[in-house]
Amino acid sequence: MPYIFYDTETTGTNTTYDQILQFGAILTDDELRELNRFEIRCRLSPHIVPTPGALRATKVRPAQLTDPSLLSHYEAVCAIAGKLRAWSPAIFIGYNSLEFDEMLLRQAFYQNLKPVYLTNTNRNTRADTLRLVQAATAYVPGSIIVPVIGEGRPTRRLDAIAPANGFNRHKAHDALGDVEATIFMARLVKQRASVVWDELMPMAAKSAVIQRTLSGQILSLTEFYNGRPYSRLVVGCGQNPEYDAQLGVFDLRYEPERYLDLPTESLIKVMNSRKKAIRSVRANNQPILLPWTLRGLDFHDLNIEGNETERRAQVISQSREFQIRVGEALRNRYPTRESAAYVEERIYDGFPSKTDQFLMEQFHKVPWESRGKIVDLLDDERLRELGYRLIYLEEPNALSEGKRRELDLWKSQRLNPNGNAPWMTIGAAMNQADKLQEEESENRIFAELIEWLQTLGSRDPTVEREAHAGIEPEAPNGLLRTDIGVPRGMPVG
C-alpha cells in the first residue's frame, strides 16, 4: 500500500482551536519512492489569533497571515481533502502526527463540514515515524543516532535527529521540508532496523493491534517519558466493550493471583495507581507493542524465571471473567463527560447521520446564497453551528442581517472574550509578544505582530463586510467616508 507522508504548520499548538496555515504531503510507493507531492498555504481565519511563539518558529510575518492572494482556510481544507481522497487508500504517516497533525487535520475537516475520519476509514490507516524511530532506538541500539540537548537529555525532535543522522538539507518548520526529513528518517528505520519496521508497521491498522494484543502472546510494550524508553513484558487482559480501541494489558512483573478476583472498582484503582499492574493501550494509536523475543528477558529484567513469565501470561489469558471485569473497568474508569460549551470540543460527540452526510456533501456544491437552506436541514446542531460559521467567514452577505450580527458578536468574543478562554486571544497574544520582544529585541517580527494585534480588535465587522463586497460604506448624514477624510475600512468616530 502507498504512503502519504504529511506535515502541517499552524498558528499554534492547540489542536482544538488553532488552524493550519501550511500543509505539505508527499505520496510514495511501498518502497518509499516518491510518486507525487502537494503543498498549499492559506490565510488566517478572521476569528483566530496566532500564537507569537509559533510565528517565531515558522518565521511567518503578520502581513503573510492576511495576504489576500492566499486561499481562505475553508478553500485550503477543501483542496487538502480532495487531494488526500484522490491518493487514497494509503497509510497516512507524519512525525508525531498521531498526537498533533492528525488532531489538527481532523478539526479542520470537522469545522469545514468534511468527513472527519478520512485518514482511517475506507481502507486508510495511520502510522507515525516518531513511533518507528523510538522503537528502532530501543530495540536495535545504534541503528539511529539520538542527539542530546541540555544536560544530556536525549531528543528525537525531527529538527535535531534528522541532521544528526545525515539529513543536511532540512528546511525545518516548513511543511514540505519536514515531510522530506520525515521520509529520510522512515527510510533509515526501514534499512537499519528492518525487524522493527516489519513488526511495527502492521500496527498502523487498529484491527492488527487488537488481534496482537488479545492473542495471548507475551508482548513487549515500550513507552517514552522525557525522551527515555520504559519497556514492560505484558499480555492482553481486556477490551472496553463500548470502545474497542481501548485495550488492557497486564504487566508480568506482577503476580496475577493478587488481581484475578478483584471487583471492577478495585481494578479501576489499580489502573489509576502509580504502580500499574494493568495498563491501557490505544489500538488506534500505533502502540509500540512488539514480540518480546526482539530483545528477550534480559532487556526487561523481570528478575523471575522465564517459565514463570509464561505461566503468568497463561493465567491471565485463560481467565475470561477477569478479562470481562478489566473491560468494564476500562469503560467506567473515567466519569461521563458532559457536553462541552464550545462546538470545537464536541468533535467526538457522535457521528453524523447518513442524511447529514449527504447534506454536508451538497453544502460544498451549491452557491453560497443557497447554503443556509442546507444548513437549516442538518439534524446535528454541531454541524448547523459550524455551517453558519462557514458562511459568515466566507460570504457573510449571504446571511440575513440578524444572523450576521449574531456572528459579529461571536467573532468579537473570540478575539476579545470577557473572561478566560481555552483559545489564544488578542490580550494573551499581546502579553506573549511583549515578553518575546524583550527577550529578542532585534527580532522585528514581534513589533510587527504587536502593531497588527492592536488593529485586530478595533475592526468594525460591518465595514469589513462592505469592503469585501466592494461597497463604499456611508458616514453619518449620508456622506461617504472618503468625503470626510476617513480612509476606506476605518470606523468613523
pLDDT tens digit sequence for 272-328: 999 899 999 999 999 999 999 998 767 887 778 768 999 999 999 999 999 999 999
**CA gap 9, 81 in Å, rounded:** 17
Which has more confidence, 302 or 104? 104
Does the structure show a pLDDT above 50 at 489?
no
What's the pLDDT at 371? 98
pLDDT of residue 465: 54
Average model confidence (pLDDT) across the chain: 91
> pLDDT above 70 covers what percent of the chain?
92
Which backbone phi and psi does 45 adopt, to 5 degrees? -70, 145
* Partners of 148 in beta bridges: 154
Position 462 scores a pLDDT of 55
**First and final CA of the chain: distance in angstroms?**
62
Q: How far apart are CA 310 and CA 312, in angstroms?
A: 5
Q: How far apart are CA 65 and CA 55, in angstroms?
A: 10
Which grid coordinates are listed for 31? Answer: 518502497
Give the mean pLDDT of 161-172.
Answer: 90
User: For the range 267-276, what are the long-range contacts, defined as Cβ-Cβ under 8 Å and sequence gap of 24 or more?
Assistant: 267/325, 267/326, 267/329, 268/329, 268/332, 268/333, 271/329, 271/330, 271/333, 272/333, 276/251
> What residue has cell string 475553508?
74
3-state secondary structure of 25: strand
Half-sphere exposure (Cβ direction) of 88: Cα atoms closer than 13 Å: 18
List, for residues 367-377, the tens digit of each pLDDT value: 999 999 999 99
Q: What is the mean pLDDT of residues 407-426?
A: 95
Tell me what pLDDT residue 156 has: 96
Greatest C-alpha distance within the chain: 93
Crossing angle for the helix pair 381-394 and 368-377, to the nearest 10 degrees: 170
Residue 124: DSSP 8-state: -
- pLDDT average, residue stretch 333-343: 89
pLDDT bin (cut points 50, 70, 90) of residue 195 is very high
| CATH number of the structural domain 205-332 | 3.30.1520.20
Statement: residue 473 has pLDDT above 70: no
**Which one has a higher pLDDT value, 411 or 59?**
411
CA angle 178, 180, 186 (to 5 degrees): 100
Strongest mean pLDDT among 182-196, 332-346, 446-460: 182-196
Confidence (pLDDT) at 111: 98
Boundaries of every domain in the chain: 3-197, 205-332, 355-484
Those residues whose C-beta lies under 8 Å from the C-beta of residue 188, and which sit 6 or more positions away, are 136, 143, 144, 165
Q: What span, in angstroms and rounded, lies between the C-alpha atoms of 486 and 294?
A: 73
> What's the rounded Cα separation, in Å, for the pair 8 and 18?
12
Residues 45-102 pLDDT 10s: 999 999 999 998 888 898 999 999 999 999 999 999 999 999 999 999 999 999 999 9
Q: Would you state the pLDDT for residue 150? A: 81
Does position 169 have pLDDT exceeding 90, yes or no? no
Confidence of residue 238 (pLDDT cuts 50, 70, 90): very high
How would you class 448 by CB atoms within 10 Å of its CB: exposed for 0-12, middle for 13-18, buried for 19 or more? middle
Q: Which residues pair with 480 in a beta bridge?
A: 474
Q: Is 140:195 a contact under the CB 8 Å cutoff?
A: yes
Residues 6+ apart with CB under 8 A from 43: 65, 66, 67, 68, 70, 71, 72, 73
Average pLDDT over residues 205-226: 96
Class of the CATH-defined domain 3-197? alpha beta
Residue with grid cell 473497568, as numbered in its chain:
329
Average pLDDT over residues 401-409: 96
Predicted local distance difference test score (pLDDT) of residue 42: 97
Average pLDDT score over residue span 432-454? 89
Amino acid at 26: I
| Whole-angstrom distance, CA of residue 342 vs CA of residue 410 | 11
- Give per-residue pLDDT as tens, 11-27: 999 999 999 999 999 99
pLDDT cut 90: percent of the chain above it = 80
Torsion of CA 341, 346, 351, 353, to 10 degrees: 40
With bands split at pLDDT 50, 70 and 90, how would you rate the model's confidence at 458? low
Same topology, domains 3-197 and 205-332? Answer is no
Q: What is the DSSP letter of 420?
A: -
Q: What is the pTM of this model?
A: 0.90
Q: DSSP per residue over 169-224, as a string?
A: ---TTSHHHHHHHHHHHHHHHHHH-HHHHHHHGGGGSHHHHHHHHTT---EEEEEE
Whether the pLDDT of residue 469 is over 70: the answer is no
At residue 149 the predicted structure's pLDDT band, cuts being 50, 70 and 90, is confident
